[in-house]
Amino acid sequence: MIDKAILLEKMKTSPYKPMKARIIEAKMVTENEKFFKIELEGKINLSHEPGQFVMVSIFGFGEAPISVCSSPTDKGFFDLTVRNVGMLTNALHKLNEGDIVGIRGPFGRGFPVDNMFGYDIVIVAGGLGIVPLRSLIRYIMHNRNDFGDVQILLGCRTPREFLFKEETKEWMRRTEIKFKCTVDRADPDWKGNVGLVTSLIPGVDINPVKTYAVVVGPPVMYKFVILKLLEKAIPDHQIIVSLERRMRCGLGKCGHCQIEGIYVCQSGPVFNYAQLKDFRGECHEGECYEKKI
């Protein structure tokens, strides 16, 4: 907890100054995604909540918000998995073990793990959505007896895009979690399910009042998944999502990440469906099942 106090103090005195951090491991995990293990100077713990994000700086290039994909129970380092899509992530992909980056954060509100104690957990991940969810999955696995049944449903466009292949194999082997995956388009080697991730939901046994569903994926995915979860009668506030937005400051000031009156970098990126419904139309058309125009 001392580490957390140090970080909060830093945020207070110089919120724009990144901490020095070293990449201690870097590897390409798909054609377009690279995995980084990062150590803060002085080996202080990031002390984040699962689902929070950090601002990664490369001086001269700028900053970008990246979800932390390790659990706070992983001590001494944290993990990022980065898709090469923009200027900063492109520069980040060129870095390797031993290189230095700047880190600000952690920012935002993570998954409400304390509220989820004692509940069954259904995790629905689409594509890159598995990245922030990995922090939650690892957290749950490290505190396994705090939770009820745990099921993970993972969907990808093609088998080549699967992230964390070794870990998902491990999840498949383990008995205390159920893991299912599917691809939109199979290739000749694929022997698993084919279809959208929504197709996995009807087959899941759910006790709705005792279940938290956590959904992360591209914006278009949410409304279809949420619809299926509502059909299972899971209450609105027990359906949890994490939204992607443009973030520049992380401090609830710069305005880029705003959804109506809400700064996603401070009040999100994790929301429950009851909150999502309250956005009267400023969320993406894919993000809210009940959105009316």
Partner 1 sequence: MKVKYAILEKQDLYRWVEYLKIKARLYAPKKKENLFVFGPVKNADEICLDYIPTILPPKKYYFPQKEKLLEFSIKPFKSEKAIKEFEEYILFGVHTCDIAGIQCLDVVFREYPEDPNYLNRKEKMTIIGIECFKYCDKYANCTSMGNNVPRGGYDLMMVDLGQNFIIHINSEKGERLVVELDYIKEAKPQDLAKLENFRNEKKKMFREELNAPLPEVYKAFSEYESFHSEVWNDVGRRCVACGNCTAVCPTCYCFDIVDELELTLNDGLRYRIWNYCQMDDFAKVATGEDFRKGRNSRQRHRYYRKFKYPVDKYNRYFCIGCGRCSRTCMADIILIETVDSIVDPANAQNYKGLIKNMPEVCQITQDTGACDDR
Partner 2 sequence: MKKRSKPKVAFFDFTDCEGCQLQITNMGDTLLELTELFDIVNFREIMSEKSDDYDIAVVEGSISTDNDIKRIKGIRERAKILVAFGSCATIAGVNGIKNRAPLELARQRVYGDKADTVNTIKAMPLDEVVKVDYYILNCPPYVPEIIAVFKSILIGKPYPLPNYAVCVECKMNENVCRYEKDEECMGPVTRAGCNSWCINNGNRCYACRGLVENPAADGAKDIFLKYGFKAEDILKHFTLYNDPQGEKKYDREFK
250 torsion bin: left (phi>0), alpha (psi -120 to 50), beta (else): left
- Residue 232 or 284: which CB sits closer to partner 1? 284
283 is in an annotated binding site: no
Quote the least distance from Cβ 244 to partner 1, whole Å.
Answer: 6
For residue 44, the cross-strand partners are: none
- Residue 61 or 190: which CB sits closer to partner 2? 61
35 torsion bin: left (phi>0), alpha (psi -120 to 50), beta (else): beta
178 binds, among partner 2, partner 1, none (CB under 5 to 8 A by kind): none
Kindly list the residues in this chain that would bind partner 2 in the complex (CB under 8 A): 60-61, 87, 90-91, 94
- Residue 40 or 213: which CB sits closer to partner 1? 40
Q: What are phi and psi of 98, to 5 degrees?
A: 95, -20
- Residue 152 or 215: which CB sits closer to partner 1? 215
181 is in an annotated binding site: no
Quote the least distance from Cβ 56 to partner 1, whole Å.
Answer: 12
Q: Are 226 and 289 in contact (CB under 8 A)?
A: yes
281 binds, among partner 2, partner 1, none (CB under 5 to 8 A by kind): partner 1
- Please give the angle made by the CA atoms of 46, 52 and 58, to the nearest 5 degrees: 65
Name residues whose C-beta falls within 8 Å of residue 101's C-beta, 6 or more positions apart in sequence.
18, 21, 23, 38, 56, 57, 58, 92, 95
91 binds, among partner 1, partner 2, none (CB under 5 to 8 A by kind): partner 2
156 is in an annotated binding site: no
Quote the least distance from Cβ 125 to partner 1, whole Å.
Answer: 17
- Residue 24 or 85: which CB sits closer to partner 2? 85
Single-letter amino acid, residue 243: L
Strands 262-263 and 177-183 come out as unpaired
Which residues carry a binding-site annotation for [2Fe-2S] cluster?
Answer: 249, 254, 257, 265
